[in-house]
Amino acid sequence: MADQRTHARHGDKVVYQTDFPADHPEIGPEKIGVLLLNLGTPEGTDYWSMRRYLKEFLSDRRVIEANPVFWQLLLNTVILTKRPKSSGQAYASIWNEEKNESPLKTITRDQADGVQTILHQRFGEGIIVDWAMRYGYPRTEDAVNDLMSKGCRRILLVALYPQYAAATTATAYDHAFRALMKMRWQPSIRTVPPYHDEPQYIDAVVRSIHDHLADLSWEPEVLLTSFHGLPKRYLMAGDPYHCQCAKSSRLIRDALGWPKERVKLCFQSRFGREEWLKPYTDETIAELARQGVKNLAIVSPGFAADCVETLEELNMQGRETFLENGGENFTFIPCLNAREDSVGLIADLVTRELGGWVEPRALAAGNARRAAG
């Protein structure tokens, strides 16, 4: 990628030129890359696809904070022999058959397309939006290299997690930084902070709740705000995730104007035997039903996109648990996904973080100036 007009290479000899050409391609149109990052997903629901995905995921030391020698032994002998099958069945029940991919992938792509459209309108063609995953495909490293090769000398990384956790946000950014470590010519980098208490995020979640409930013939007595769990140990070690989830839940309740007893915070998707953040979603659902709650709604504001943890664990298993324990009406409120206000939210977060790199239309103007010499 090094330029061709300030020097000429002949084998291992270089002829230097002293004058810098005004129309040099590397100071030509400068582009900005925006890279949306989500968790990742298997390529198929069969044993080996699931195993590859789970091995990469569960070998991440930001996710599993345990003695690595002990953990790899347990992972390779026990977990990776059993879990690919059971998780594969869960994925198969929600698979996007038309595209032959998991919903998380379909939705993340749709979000990126939507954000690209808005940013093109705001800033012109000098912004390239792409998306990648922490585990599996598309790979973060490939996306970073691809943006660089398209002329993006600045890249904004956007972890699609409203609440910060080392197991999600930090590892997504780490992974991009690891890609940079291999690059001779690195782009400049920025990262988007968590947005758990951004009014626009809270409004979008609340609007999605109102829209969904408006189509029902019944009203929920209780709304569960269910977030992905985390080992309690990680909270004790200083992870802000629990507090950010609690704040999002409270802000959603305030915006709804509902009383405290009607909106509850809980944590789903436990993994392994140690204690995770409480209260647990599955136990809360069963308890509420046993206490006589007949009408229950669940929203999952920590997931930017629907995935196996919402579509299967909440909408299928959670529903079953509620009905089995005496509940009557259950509804799952879909994640923000590629709704117009969701894509608008991501585009606005990005626009704010681009401040100083670009102002509306400034990129186009700068490029026009450069083109004029």
Residues in contact with ligand L6N33NVT by CB under 6 A are 39, 41, 57, 63-64, 83, 87, 102, 104, 161, 165, 167-168, 228, 230, 241, 269, 271, 302-303, 307-309
Nearest CB to Fe ion, comparing residues 196 and 242: 242
Residue 209 CB partners (closer than 8 Å, separation 6+): 223, 252, 256, 297, 299, 333
Our CB check for ligand L6N33NVT shows the closer of 66 and 364 to be: 66
Quick one: 39 or 179, whose CB is closer to ligand L6N33NVT? 39
Q: State the DSSP H helix or E strand holding residue 59, giving kind and residue range, or none if neither.
A: none
- Omega of the bond prior to 279 within 30 degrees of 0, cis? yes
Q: How far apart are CA 124 and CA 298, in angstroms?
A: 39
d(CA 348, CA 63): 29
Q: Nearest to residue 90, comparing CAs of 267, 308, 282?
A: 308
- Give the 3-state secondary structure of residue 96: strand
What number of other Cβ atoms are within 10 A of residue 137's Cβ? 15
Q: How near is the Cβ of 368 to ligand L6N33NVT at its closest, in Å?
A: 42
Distance CA 197, CA 124 (A): 30
Choose among Fe ion, ligand L6N33NVT, none what residue 242 binds, the Cβ cut-off being 5 to 8 Å by kind: Fe ion
Residue 243 binding: pick among Fe ion, ligand L6N33NVT, none (C-beta 5-8 Å cut-off by kind): Fe ion
CA–CA dist 58, 292 (Å, integer) = 39
Residue closer to Fe ion by CB (options 289, 305) is: 305
Sheet containing 127-135, strands listed edge to edge, beginning at the edge strand earlier in sequence? 127-135, 31-40, 152-159, 188-191
- Least separation in angstroms between CB 61 and Fe ion: 15
Residues 6+ apart with CB under 8 A from 221: 262, 293, 294, 295, 296
For residue 53, the minimal CB distance to Fe ion (Å) is 12
Q: Residue 371 touches which of ligand L6N33NVT, Fe ion, none (CB < 5 to 8 A by kind)?
A: none
Q: Which of residues 227-266 bind Fe ion (CB under 5 A)?
A: 242-243
SS3 readout for 249-292: HHHHHHHHCCCHHHEEEEEECCCCCCCECCCEHHHHHHHHHHCC
- Does the annotation flag 219 for ligand binding? no
Q: Is the dihedral of CA 76, 101, 140, 66 positive or negative?
A: negative
Task: For residue 183, state whether it binds Fe ion (rule: CB under 5 A).
Answer: no
Measured from the CB atom, is 102 or 284 closer to ligand L6N33NVT? 102
Closest separation between CB of residue 190 and ligand L6N33NVT, Å? 22
228 known ligand binder = yes
Q: Using CB distances below 5 to 8 A depending on partner kind, what does residue 63 bind out of Fe ion, ligand L6N33NVT, none?
A: ligand L6N33NVT
CB of 363 to ligand L6N33NVT, least distance (A): 33
Please say which residue, 153 or 250, places its beta carbon nearer to Fe ion: 250
User: In which region does residue 188 sit, left (phi positive, over 0), alpha (psi from -120 to 50) or beta (all else)?
Assistant: beta
What is the smallest separation between the CB atom of 289 and ligand L6N33NVT, expressed in angstroms?
A: 24
Residue appearing with tokens 């790899």: 72
The entry of ligand L6N33NVT, Fe ion, none near residue 87 (CB within 5 to 8 angstroms by kind) is: ligand L6N33NVT
CB of 272 vs ligand L6N33NVT, minimal distance in Å: 6
List interacting residues with Fe ion (CB under 5 A). Answer: 242-243
**Residue list, annotated binding site:** 228, 309
